[in-house]
A and B are shown apart, each in its own frame.
Chain A
Amino acid sequence: MATDLRVVGGDLVPPSAERRHLLSVSDLGRNDVERLLATARSFAQSQERENKKLPTLRGRLVINVFYESSTRTSSSFELAAKRLSADTMTLKSSGSSVDKGESLKDTALTLSAYDPDVIVLRHPEAGAGELVARHTEARVVNAGDGKHQHPTQALLDLYTMREAFGRLEGLQVAIVGDVLHSRVARSLVQALKLVGADAIFVGPPTLLPDGIAPTSHDIDAIADADVVYVLRMQRERMLAGANFVPSLREYAERWAITPARVREGQRVMHPGPMNRGVEIDARVADSAASLVVDQVRSGLVVRMAVLYDLLTAGPVAVETAVGVA
């Protein structure tokens, strides 16, 4: 029988006692990130046992509300809640009252009547998490809102990088592709800044925002990076009226991550889903340099850590039996 899991690491600062949400990376300080990553590490060790289930959140209710399609995020939040013994249910916009025109506010009020401890929300419009947080007593975790934020993705990416390199401080990360429309890039660049890593944006000039990180439209700019973080290139960016790039072919020619462009020792990441042959060459995606599957595995333990962290306000207990490097 697994016992209640304790988070380890003597110098970690406990979460603040007030009710918290995780809507944006800007809700986190460096201490919070360190604590969450350490907690995730502990959970990763628990996941090596035969019985992977922990009783920590027994009797708690986690509701996942997904207004956008998702494979990785929705499945990992659901599994994370189950592994922590929380009750969980997942609501998708199709097949629910959203189909009948129910507003997000009413959905929030309705679900709040079940007294959930956490609402995990994925929504196509920026600001959805802030709106739900105003209408529920539950803690709200933003699982992606429009082009705004996807904080748990940034945390799992940090976790993956630390596992691969043993450190975060001083890492060089090149974020390649459609940064402008990417909540993943926006969250990640903030998170990297928090832990002392550096980011550069590389891609078509029309798809790189100004002012938050250095930019380059020359793919050679990825050469100095430890991590090449590849973003999904969406087909609709080429449609008439958008014209961000002339064609997928031209994009791939100039900015796709091919074996020739990956230097020895570099690691390649992608938040998924990948367009093989567009932004990433299949040979790179399946190579030893790729951390894509590690990212998915990290997603589970990081989301367990986020749920655990939001629902435990007390000081972090230290258990030396499960050590943290």
Chain B
Amino acid sequence: MLAGPVGRDDVVIRGARVLDPVEGVDATLDVRIDGGVIAQLGEQLDTNEHRVVEAAGLTLVPAFIDPHVHLRTPGREDEETISTGTEAAAAGGYCAILAMPNTEPVVDDPSHVRSLRARALDEANVPVGFLAAITKGQNGEELTEMGALADAGAAGFTDDGRPVAAAGVMRRALQYNAVTGRTIAVHCEEPTLTRGGQAHAGIVATELGLGGWPSLGESLMVARDVELAGDTGQPVHLMHLSARESVDHLRRAQAQGVRATGEATPHHLCLTDEAIRSLDANVKMNPPLRTEEDRAVLIDALRDGTIAAVATDHAPHSPEEKEVPFEAAPFGVVGLETAFASLYTFLVEPGVLGLETLLERMSAGPAAIYGLERPRIAVGAQANLTLLDLAGSWRVKAESLRSRSQNSWLLGQRLQSRVALTIAAGRVAFE
């Protein structure tokens, strides 16, 4: 399902704290990679004339997978390309990303998928999975040729950016998707409740005079989609959850055995709608930032696994699109290069979330949702590794971001922890 460069690098990473919570590894070890595959874990390993990375004091973890990225290709290559987006991914410690199909044109035809996969082989810095649309043109009406799209290599299906507003269409998509075995991911938004919505319908939006985007606009669709998943017996993945009511619906459905999964973004986990008082377009997101109570529920859900994955919803926008009044600005922020560091700084360091949990939710969690191979630190596994300097810190600057767009909510802020090295599919992708 992934397309991109595969490497056969020979590397020895010496003396790192090797931490793979799923494999149950936490020890100071050397890791030898032969031809892109982990060949040996141990102490004082022979280097075999491999390249040696001295990593004392650093932490080696399974590399991250981002299940939610907008590469803006084709159509808006001025905002992001396969090349720049995957450079940014590698810099953020990601060994694989999934790209959303709301491009121009929409990825709704097998030829689009084949062409993107071919381009990724040439241009990508880490492997990319391309999702295809659920409905043609993401119009919410006619199903795409899901079987043919899956055969062409689509990594899953979503109309992300828009909801599948009609329940009947969503039900058919879930039923039919049994033939593909891929994951259907949904953008939960009830459009008649969110029309004109600019910010969470709460006291901050009221005071600022911004159109309200109520929690119910999300949670009503979450409730519908977990009901449909239960009814059809098919799995559904709920993207970028923001409201505590949505988490309640998801948790209840999971307890009843419905195959429903969820993801949350770093910005919803770190910020609340208080941040929009600045009227800075770089804190304008869809779904909107919500209250401290919602944020606390999202963190709890991430901790207990109700929400199984961190997803950046990396959404590049050009300066001319974002340098407008808040109300006129498009939704979305970039996040690939800052996801781990922001969550480490704002959740792990203060003791709100365990490092092991975060690592799992950024790697094994998203892999399981989409049926991808889990990055793991074990002999025989392809090397998908991230070397972290948890003691290091850095300031987020627009000019040093590798993404083609700089619409980050973290510009000017100092973050704790740095990515020192990323190995993706057996190849050093970032150092």
Contacts and interface: CB of A to CB of B under 8 A. Distances in A.
B209 A126 contact: yes
B320 A147 contact: no
B326 A126 contact: yes
B224 to A, nearest CB: 22
A256 B281 CA distance: 38
A147 B212 CA distance: 12
Interface in A125-147: 125-128, 130-131, 145-147
Contacts of A186: 207, 209
Contacts of A149: 209
A148 B324 contact: no
A148 B206 contact: no
Nearest to B280: A130
A175 to B, nearest CB: 14
Interface in B312-329: 320, 323-329
A146 B209 CA distance: 8
A130 B324 contact: no
Residue of A103, A127, A183 with highest tally of chain B CB at under 10 A = A127
Contacts of A127: 279, 281, 325-329
Interface in B278-306: 278-281
A123 interface: yes
A12 to B, nearest CB: 28
Interface string B207-241: 11111000000000000000000000000000000
B203 interface: yes
A86 B280 CA distance: 32
A15 interface: no
A241 interface: yes
A103 B280 CA distance: 17
A130 B323 contact: no
B285 to A, nearest CB: 15
A130 B327 CA distance: 11
A81 to B, nearest CB: 24
Interface residues of A, number: 23
B195 interface: yes
Given A125-B325, A127-B326, A148 B210 contact: yes
Contacts of B329: 127
Interface in B181-221: 195, 198, 202-203, 206-211
A103 B206 contact: no
Given A131-B324, A146-B209, A210-B206, A126 B195 contact: no
A105 B209 contact: no
Nearest to B207: A212
A105 B323 contact: yes
A241 B195 contact: yes
Contacts of B211: 147
Contacts of A103: 320, 323-324
Nearest to A241: B195
Contacts of A145: 325
Main secondary structure of the interface of B (DSSP, over half): loop
A147 B325 CA distance: 12
Nearest to B284: A127
B177 to A, nearest CB: 33
A209 B206 contact: yes
Interface string A113-126: 00000000001011
A125 B327 contact: yes
A126 B210 contact: yes
Interface string B323-345: 11111110000000000000000
A130 B195 CA distance: 24
B279 A211 contact: no
Residue of B209, B320, B329 with highest tally of chain A CB at under 10 A = B209
Contacts of A211: 202-203, 206
Contacts of B210: 126, 146-148
B164 to A, nearest CB: 21
A104 interface: yes
Contact of A130 (B203, B206, B278, B320): B278
Contacts of B281: 127
B204 to A, nearest CB: 10
Interface in A198-220: 209-212
Nearest to A128: B325
Nearest to A179: B206
Nearest to A130: B279
Interface in A243-265: none
Contact of A126 (B280, B323, B327): B327
Interface string B238-263: 00000000000000000000000000
Given A125-B324, A127-B329, 5 more contacts: A125-B325, A126-B209, A128-B325, A130-B326, A146-B210
A-B pairs, top 8 by smallest CB distance, nearest first, are A127-B326, A147-B209, A127-B279, A125-B325, A125-B327, A148-B209, A128-B325, A127-B325
30 contacts: A103-B324, A104-B325, A105-B323, A125-B324, A125-B325, A125-B327, A125-B328, A126-B208, A126-B210, A126-B325, A126-B326, A126-B327, A127-B279, A127-B326, A127-B328, A127-B329, A130-B325, A131-B325, A145-B325, A146-B210, A148-B208, A148-B279, A148-B327, A186-B207, A190-B207, A209-B206, A210-B206, A211-B202, A211-B206, A212-B206
Interface of A: 103-105, 123, 125-128, 130-131, 145-149, 183, 186, 190, 209-212, 241
